[in-house]
Amino acid sequence: MFASIAETFSEIGSKFTWMAWTWETAIFFGFIATALVILTLLAVYRPEMPRKGILGFPTTRGDRFFVTMLGAAYIHILWIGFGGGELWYALGISGLFGIAMFIFA
Amino acid sequence: MIEKPINNRAWLLVLPVLAFVLFSALLPMMTVVNYSLQDSMGANNFFWNGDAWFRDVLNPSTDIGARFFDALIRNLSFSFAALLIEVPLGIAIALCLPRSGWAVGPCLVLIALPMLIPWNVVGTIWQIFARADIGLFGAAINGLGIPYNDTQDPVAAWITIVIIDVWHWTPLVILLSYAGLRAIPDAFYQAARIDAASRWAVFVNIELPKLQKVLVIAVLLRFMQTFMIYTEPFVVTGGGPGSATTFLSIDLVKIALGQVDLGNAAAMSLIYNLITITLCWIFYTIMTQLDRRRDA
């Protein structure tokens, strides 16, 4: 039975080889998908009111997540644009930015 | 009043749209992300390339980086020029339109006509219309003694592309502004007449503030459409002369499909997309905030 399940999965997988998947990008999109699911569940079971923070307009958790992702993209681009080294530092800065956004925005 | 039942199963009706977006946008987008980090020798063989494509595109001293920043500046100047002409012109024409009577219908239909023409047809019309030898527009300008050739002179090419966009899309600004103007209650104008307000004062203090919302929408739509401009320069100038009208989308097609340089094209289109998403989000936030302020 497990063999047939594995076969089914690899068959589905072979349909997507044209997308040129790598495990790195799979983790990236997996992270976003998981975050969206968690945010949806939170919105259903722990509803919230938008609050006004340092951005000057009311934000919900979803808004703060979006700003975090957008900011992270810009942080990475600026890091590369100004000739920064390893991208792990940019990722670290993005993490700090995200925490700041979720606390203060 | 009938109580409306709350039923989350209504969300299931959104599923077809989600499926459509998955195939039309999400899967291609993910593929582009995958391409942007790998190198390919064709035949669907891919090799991990890390952030090298992004480092190329974001470095103006490389060939591809120089192309990217030049095209980006061209795109922004084009959007700026088009908006600078279309928005004031659109408001001005909307103010001149009749508010009532038999002339309203014919005027609106005539104004809306250019918007009904597809981009590539507009391009083809203008390609012939602007020709320096046989085109009505190009030959007439040359006949006046002003040298004009949109295939050889970068300035002429730019003016042509901007005029095409103004001709094609000012109607959108006109119709939006017109709708906004029609929505202003007559009481405001009566109050202005009692105060003996000048025409300019009426415009600045009554009409412009009431138009704010539709103008934000107009600027958003026009900015997005001018920022992704492809067909008109592709048909009319082919991105030339030289690379004078090579906008980001045209350069992307050249890199991706002309040179089959998928990695660089993918990195470039992701940065392009990021700029678009950011601007969309800014406009969207402004619009919803204006709404909220109005409701409050």
Domain range summary for chain B, segments of one domain joined by +: 1-50, 67-295
Structure tokens at B69: 């920043």
Residue A76: the pLDDT is 92
Establish, for the pair of chains A and B, how many residue pairs have beta carbons separated by less than 8 Å. 52
Residue A75: the pLDDT is 93
The helix-helix angle for A61-81 and A87-104 (nearest 10°) equals 150
CA-to-CA separations, A46 to A50, B26, B114, B206, in angstroms, rounded? 13, 28, 50, 44
In total, chain B counts a number of residues equal to: 296
Interface of B with A (CB under 8 A): 27, 30-31, 33-35, 37-38, 40, 44, 46, 48, 51, 54-55, 58-59, 271, 274, 277-278, 281, 285, 289, 292
Checking ipTM against 0.90, whether it exceeds it is: no
Structure tokens at B243: 């690379």
The helix-helix angle for B262-295 and B27-36 (nearest 10°) equals 130
Who's near B36: CB < 8 A, 6+ residues apart? B53, B54, B263, B266, B267, B270
Whole-angstrom Cα distance, residue B228 to residue B223?
Answer: 9
CA distance B46 to chain A (A): 7
User: For residue A69, which residues of chain B lie inside 8 Å, CB to CB?
Assistant: none
User: For residue A56, which residues of chain B lie inside 8 Å, CB to CB?
Assistant: none
Residue B296: the pLDDT is 61
Please tell me what DSSP assigns to residue B178: H
Q: Please classify residue B101 by burial: count the beta carbons closer than 10 Å to its beta carbon, then call 0-12 exposed, 13-18 middle and 19+ buried.
A: exposed
| CB-CB contact of A27 with B30 (8 Å) | no
| CB-CB contact of B250 with B239 (8 Å) | yes
**Among A20, A66, A83, beta carbon nearest to B31:** A20
Fold (CATH) for B67-295: MetI-like fold (1.10.3720)
Q: Are residues B40 and A22, on separate chains, in Cβ contact within 8 Å?
A: no
Please tell me what DSSP assigns to residue B42: S
In total, chain A counts a number of residues equal to: 105
Q: Are residues A18 and B44, on separate chains, in Cβ contact within 8 Å?
A: yes
Whole-angstrom Cα distance, residue B89 to residue B83?
Answer: 10
Q: Please classify residue B82 by burial: count the beta carbons closer than 10 Å to its beta carbon, then call 0-12 exposed, 13-18 middle and 19+ buried.
A: buried
Tell me which of A84 and B130 has the higher pLDDT.
B130
Sequential pLDDT tens for chain B (296 residues):
567 777 778 888 899 999 999 889 888 999 899 888 888 877 777 888 888 888 888 888 888 888 999 999 999 999 999 999 999 999 999 999 888 888 888 999 999 999 999 888 998 999 888 888 888 888 888 888 888 888 888 888 899 999 999 999 999 999 999 999 988 888 888 898 898 888 888 888 888 888 888 898 899 889 988 998 888 888 888 877 888 888 989 989 988 888 888 888 999 999 999 998 998 898 888 888 877 776 66
Identity of the residue numbered A64:
R
Residue A66: the pLDDT is 93
User: For residue A30, which residues of chain B lie inside 8 Å, CB to CB?
Assistant: none
Query: From the CB of residue B180, how many other CB atoms can be counted at a distance below 10 Å?
Result: 21
User: For residue B281, which residues of chain A lie inside 8 Å, CB to CB?
Assistant: 66, 70
Residue B231: the pLDDT is 87
CA distance A57 to chain B (A): 8
Residue B260: the pLDDT is 82
Interface of A with B (CB under 8 A): 17-22, 24-25, 28-29, 57-58, 66, 70, 73-74, 77, 80-81, 83, 87
Whole-angstrom Cα distance, residue B222 to residue B261?
Answer: 30
Handedness of CA B72, B78, B84, B86 (dihedral sign): negative
Q: Are residues A25 and B37, on separate chains, in Cβ contact within 8 Å?
A: yes
Q: Are residues A74 and B54, on separate chains, in Cβ contact within 8 Å?
A: no
Query: From the CB of residue B54, how many other CB atoms can be counted at a distance below 10 Å?
Result: 25
Report strand pairing: B46-48 vs A58-59: unpaired
